[in-house]
Amino acid sequence: MSDSIGRREFVRSTLAGATGVALGMSGCDREPQDLSTRPGYTRRAAEQTGPVREISLVAAPGEVEIAPRGVYRKWLYNGQFPGPEIRLKEGERLRVRIENRLPEGTTIHWHGVPVPNAMDGVPGVTQELIRPNETFVYDFIADPAGSYVYHTHAGLQIDRGLIAPLIVEEKKPHVDYDREYTLILDDFLSGEPQPLSRSGGGMGGMMGLQVPPYAGLLINGRLPESPAVFETRRGQRVRLRLLNPSGATTYRVAIAGHQMTVAYADGRPVEPRTIDSLYIGMGERYDVIVEANNPGAWTITAATVEGNSPPAQAALLYKDAAQSRPPSGAAPEGLQGGRTLELSDLKALGTTDIGAPDRIFDLTLSGGMMNPAWTINGQAYPKADPLEIYEGERIRARMINRSMMIHPMHLHGHFFRVGDALKDTVIVPPHMGRVTFDFLADNPGDWFFHCHNIYHMESGMARIVRYK
Ligand code: C2O
Ligand code: CU
């Protein structure tokens, strides 16, 4: 297909004044494209895969201690909260047998991994719910390397605790480091998750912000009073994998006494960029390198952007430090000022240009205030049209956020190009924020595309991207 201006103008003019889903051209004038030239990521051929890793998970209710607050009944993978980290090497094949001992149906989604469609874990879209006392086997190649999460994709179950890290180690990292830690940023509900639409009143409701009644914010399942401690020693380079599988919290993260060098965005390697703080939305992941050059005990803080829970905290502790805990109440300077990571700072290693789009969707994100639904172009999923595409097309999505809340928009099954980065989840800022992403349609199936705030997703802010 040619990339002539005329063609693009045609696409644009069909969109002018369009409401609902804007469709570009019909499929008949396409040419097949060489999908092996996809920038930044090429799907591994079956013969290139490594050994098979067999994992068994049981999803069941259980009790966890959230110190010092008490013991709570949550829904857990293998009795753990957060769930057990699955860690494997690039190219290994993962076979996970999940047994459902919950009182309702569930699924697992391998967030960010471009799995074959049938392994994607979206109930009613790629599989039926795994019913109580049933089992299901997920089987896919762990590729490419990166920091991912796995989580339930049924209803509001994420806020019951069914979240966990999935780490795929690369053979040759583009940055050096001496040790690494995984940090799971989460929000903690002491009761059962409920849809927010009916409770949307009060001041928060008037501001257009609907935030669940969280009892606190956690790093690795721990409240600030009893923080996770990450040890280091002077001169080390520490890789922190920051993962946000929370239900409804965008965090701003900073470390007292230290800068962070962002080296991966949503698992994809980027040119290292040193900053003082970063925002991380639900579904996003950032890997940062911290140079341990300032001995002591320091706070790692993750402060909510939209709610009013006190920040989640962990500790970066140097061996031989005089104190064993950071002084309480010490907020990192990076939350006050300094340099905050911006989308335009992210540059994927290698080229990401996929050329001019063949098909463009204009997507308006709305909701909040008096409106119980969260919508894309006025439609609330499941009463919403699929976004129809053809294999081999280059797709562009232009999003605008006409609401007062942050929407971290996540596309299943693909990485997209946003600015110069490759990501799978991107924050669309409130108050008319605009974000455009492009992707190559190289993984056929029905793919969920949605806001990763689970309350927004469940109230309609979702679509299916459908290969015709
Ligand atoms: Cu973690 Cu449909 O997403
Ligand atoms: Cu949202």
Q: Is 448 in the pocket of ligand 1 (CB under 6 A)?
A: yes
Tens digit of each residue's pLDDT (9 = 90 or more) over 86-135: 999 999 999 999 999 999 999 999 999 999 999 999 999 999 999 999 99
* Mean pLDDT of the 207-212 span: 78
Question: Among the atoms of ligand 1, which is closest to the Cα of residue 412?
Answer: 2
Determine the Cα–Cα distance for residues 121 and 154; give it in Å rounded to an integer. 9
Find the ligand nearest to 196 CA: 2
Measured in Å, residue 383 CA sits from the centre of ligand 2 at 17
Question: Among the atoms of ligand 1, which is closest to the Cα of residue 448?
Answer: 2
For 249-378, list the strands marked E by DSSP: 251-255, 260-265, 268-275, 278-280, 285-291, 297-304, 312-318, 359-368, 371-376
Residue 46's pLDDT band, with cuts at 50, 70 and 90, is low
Find the ligand nearest to 148 CA: 1
Measured in Å, residue 110 CA sits from the centre of ligand 1 at 8
Residue 354's pLDDT band, with cuts at 50, 70 and 90, is confident
What does the pLDDT read at residue 259? 98
Show the tokens assigned to 348: 């994927």
Question: Among the atoms of ligand 1, which is closest to the Cα of residue 111?
Answer: 1
Residue nearest to atom 3 of ligand 1 (CA): 111
What does the pLDDT read at residue 34? 46
Q: Is 412 in the pocket of ligand 1 (CB under 6 A)?
A: yes
CA dihedral 92, 164, 244, 239 (to 10 degrees): -60
Tens digit of each residue's pLDDT (9 = 90 or more) over 398-438: 999 999 999 999 999 999 999 999 999 999 999 999 999 99
What does the pLDDT read at residue 141? 93
User: Given a cut of 90, is residue 261 above it in pLDDT?
Assistant: yes
Measured in Å, residue 111 CA sits from the centre of ligand 1 at 5
Q: What is the largest CA-CA distance in the chain?
A: 71
Tens digit of each residue's pLDDT (9 = 90 or more) over 275-285: 999 999 999 99
Residue 48's pLDDT band, with cuts at 50, 70 and 90, is low
Measured in Å, residue 321 CA sits from the centre of ligand 1 at 40
* Mean pLDDT of the 204-214 span: 73
* Mean pLDDT of the 240-258 span: 98
Question: Among the atoms of ligand 1, which is closest to the Cα of residue 450?
Answer: 2
Q: Is 285 in the pocket of ligand 1 (CB under 6 A)?
A: no
Q: Is 111 in the pocket of ligand 1 (CB under 6 A)?
A: yes
Residue with the bigger pLDDT between 321 and 138: it is 138
Tens digit of each residue's pLDDT (9 = 90 or more) over 215-244: 999 999 999 999 999 999 999 999 999 999
Percent helix, strand, coil in the chain, to 5, is: 10, 45, 45
What does the pLDDT read at residue 41? 64
pTM (2 decimals)?
0.90
